[in-house]
Amino acid sequence: METPKNLLKGYIGESLAISRYQIYSSIAEAEKFIYVAKYFREVIENEKKHAEIFANFIKKLEIEPAEVEVKAPIKFGSTAENLRYAVEGRSGRQRSSTRQPQKLLKRRVSRRWLRE
Ligand SMILES: [Fe+2]
C-alpha cells in the first residue's frame, strides 16, 4: 500500500517543484539576473519530466486518487535566497542537476556576470 502513495507523493512533489521554480525564475528575471532565470527555467523542464515519470506510473498501475501527506516548501525571497533555498531543498540528494545551484552559489562571480 505504500508504493501507490509514494508515487502520488512523488508526483505532487515534482509538481510543487515546478511551481516553486517558476516563482524563482520570475523573481530572477525581475531582478535582471537573466542567467539565473534561464537556469531556473531549465530546472522547470527537468521537474516536468520527473512529474511525467510519476504520472505515467500512476496511470499504468491505475492508482486511485488518495490522501497523502506531503511537505510543501514555499520559501522564496531574493534570487540569492532562492538559490540557497534550492540547495537546501535538495540537500541529501546528489543528482547532477541538483549540484548546479551549489555551483552558482560557490562561484565568485560579479552581479554583472549573472545578468549577462
Ligand atoms: Fe525532480
**Ligand 1 centroid to residue 46 C-alpha, Å:** 7
**Ligand 1 centroid to residue 27 C-alpha, Å:** 20
Residue 53 lies in domain: 2-115
Per-residue model confidence as pLDDT tens digits over 36-88: 999 999 999 999 999 999 999 999 999 999 999 988 878 999 999 999 999 88
- Nearest-Å Rg of the Cα atoms of the chain is 16
52: domain CATH number? Answer: 1.20.1260.10
**Ligand 1 centroid to residue 115 C-alpha, Å:** 26
pLDDT above 60 (res 19) = yes
Number of domains in the chain: 1
C-alpha cell at 27: 523573481
Helices marked H in 31-110: 34-60, 79-90, 100-106
Given this model, what pLDDT does residue 99 score?
A: 55
| 114 against 11, higher pLDDT | 11
**Ligand 1 centroid to residue 45 C-alpha, Å:** 9
pLDDT above 90 (res 111) = no
pLDDT above 70 (res 110) = no
**Ligand 1 centroid to residue 30 C-alpha, Å:** 25
- Contacts with 113 (C-beta within 8 Å, 6 or more apart), sequence order: 35
